[in-house]
Structure 1
Amino acid sequence: MAKNWISPQDLHARLEDPDLRIFDVRADLMDHGLGRRSYLEGHLPGAQFLDLETDLSGPRGVHGGRHPLPDPERLAVRLGELGVSECSDVVVYDASGGSFAARAWWLLRYLGHDRVRLLDGGLPAWQQAGYALTTDIPTPAPARFVARPRPELLASLEEVRAAGHDPQVALIDARAPERYRGEVEPIDPRAGHIPGAINRPFAANLEAGRFRSEATLRARFADLEDYRDRIVYCGSGVTAAHNLAVLDELGISARLYAGSFSDWASHPELEVRAGAE
């Protein structure tokens, strides 16, 4: 049984568990209201909504990327309002293969809460299994969630700069290959990747929207085990968490550069490289 994701069947069997908390993390980077509208139209029974832009991100600045990390204490208060305590088993999902839900997964881990999993296949897999959606909005009793941040899970801008010159540190870009190579850039003002980065697109972790087998995932990331350190980034610290969930599943430690490419690209003095490494 996987540590970091759960099947629709196993989740369905636990719906009456009083310690279970389910969160819908559907989002759209171009239409920030789409996730909440989709939630209101129908969601998993017992699911509450977490907003990528307001709950799982902090305010934007000149630097720091498009989705800065939220203040840990503020997020802890929000989770407590939604009924999450240290005894809660949390499941997060979206309709995009876990690309947004992984941000919630990582943030809970960052705050010290290990009892969190992704719904494998998300809402589409739930429906394909024949399970119903609801428009009922749950109101669990508030709880006390204590944030215990783990700064060791983060990499700073300076550490990322140094990683490009250190052969013992793997710098991993989780974006699509065409964005990594700088052929297209739909969001950020500069196109390309951080010098020294290798490309491991998060989407290749999936087959038909579900996580690939452990053997396949291990083969995909086996070369990373030889490095002293591993730092993962994407466009803004969201889909990189998908790779981090897989690496953690495989027992390979890695850190997040939270500002990711959107932070790096906001510094005009920093090189952005096109093509493949």
Structure 2
Amino acid sequence: MMKKIVMAALFAASAFAMEPLVSAPWLKAHLGEKDLVVVDVSSRKLYVKGHIPTAVQSGIGKWREAHGSYALVRSASEIEKEMRRLGISKESRVVVYSHHSNSKDMLKPTYVIWAMERYGFKRTALLDGGLPAWKRAAGTLSTKEPEAKNGNFTAREHHEIGVDMDGVKARIGEVRMIDARPAVFYFGARKQPVLKRAGHIAGATSYFWKYSFNDDGTMKPVSTMKAMLVEGLGLDPTREVVTYCTGGLETSMNYFVLHRMLGFSKARLYDASMKQWANRSDTAMRKFVWE
């Protein structure tokens, strides 16, 4: 009898667990379920033109704020307020997507997913391929904004999935670091206009976030990502790895791939990234070298 109860509990838990990546057909099959919250993180202008039915809208500005030359995730109280506004509670399952209107738009969902995890919410998934994939699956669009359903989620910060500038400095030479920007910026052949210095954090390895995508905007199979990142770049899923980019968005995609899809339990995201690091004169950088 006890064995049956345990098995039933395990089945119930698995039925409500969230895979890190869900397909448009999966979302069509589950849309409207009571505990499922769909969040559109593209601009409101795109949202009102047509979105996935039941989806609630939340701009990226609700999740991060400027701190001088760079931006950081908002406070626990602000994130909690936004998640409750979206109707998210502890028991909710959340699917996040964007319209894929440009590269930056493609990256907003993984930053929001990271921000949710930063404050203790892990029952999230990314819609593979975003709104274009939903359209290809013959998913209908809506211009109707759903009624607000206040959630009761309580935020508690988990510092361990992030790292600040001092933490990065302390890890140089000790921990693998992954630069999510285009390789031309990593190598230092071109300097980004928003940065004072060209190149990369000393010792970091280049992995452009777009390497994880197919041409249609869907993500490559886990086996391919494992071949690139674990077998190719020699990253160890059991060891710490720090991800960074220009200002936080690109690196959220690499963090998602490493942490959620490949099981890197000790992945950390450097939120301020190069907009902080490369705009200072006391941080270690290299250029014209592949590491």
TM normalised by structure 2 equals 0.85
From 39, 42, 55, the equivalent of 1:47 is: 55
Q: Which amino acid aligns with 1:79?
A: M
Structure holding more helix per residue: 2
Aligned match of 2:250: 239
Note if contact 1:58-1:69 (Cα within 8 Å) is conserved in structure 2: yes
May I ask how many residue pairs the two structures share in their alignment? Answer: 263
From 176, 192, 213, the equivalent of 2:199 is: 192
From 263, 266, 270, the equivalent of 1:251 is: 263
> Cα gap change, 1:141/1:232 in structure 2, threshold over 3 Å: closer, same or farther?
same
> Cα gap change, 1:273/1:45 in structure 2, threshold over 3 Å: closer, same or farther?
same
Partner SS state of residue 65, structure 2: coil
Note if contact 1:58-1:71 (Cα within 8 Å) is conserved in structure 2: no
Q: Which amino acid aligns with 1:131?
A: G
Aligned match of 2:5: none
Aligned match of 2:209: 202
- Please say if 1:13 is aligned against 2:29: yes
Task: Provide structure 1 residue ranges, at least 5 long, that are not aligned to the other structure.
Answer: 27-34
- Please say if 1:160 is aligned against 2:168: yes
Aligned ranges for residues 37-76 of structure 1 at < 5 Å?
37-52=45-60, 54-61=61-68, 65=70, 67-76=71-80
Equivalent-residue separation in structure 2 for 1:10 and 1:19 (angstroms): 15
CA shift, 1:58, in A, is 2.1
Partner SS state of residue 96, structure 2: strand
The superposition leaves residues 9-30 of structure 1 with CA deviations (integer Å, 9 ceiling, x where unpaired) of 001111111111111122xxxx
Note if contact 2:176-2:205 (Cα within 8 Å) is conserved in structure 1: yes
Greater Rg by CA: 2
From 242, 249, 273, the equivalent of 1:260 is: 273
The superposition leaves residues 146-195 of structure 1 with CA deviations (integer Å, 9 ceiling, x where unpaired) of 002211111121221132232xx101111111121223315434332111
CA RMSD of aligned residues (A): 1.9
TM normalised by structure 1 equals 0.89
Q: Which amino acid aligns with 2:53?
A: P
> Cα gap change, 1:226/1:39 in structure 2, threshold over 3 Å: closer, same or farther?
closer
- Please say if 1:225 is aligned against 2:241: no
Equivalent-residue separation in structure 1 for 2:258 and 2:66 (angstroms): 29
Aligned ranges for residues 42-121 of structure 1 at < 5 Å?
42-52=50-60, 54-61=61-68, 65=70, 67-96=71-100, 98-121=106-129
Task: Give runs of ≥4 in structure 1 deviating > 4 Å.
Answer: none
Task: Provide structure 2 residue ranges, at least 5 long, that are not aligned to the other structure.
Answer: 1-16
Note if contact 1:170-1:227 (Cα within 8 Å) is conserved in structure 2: no
Partner SS state of residue 172, structure 1: strand
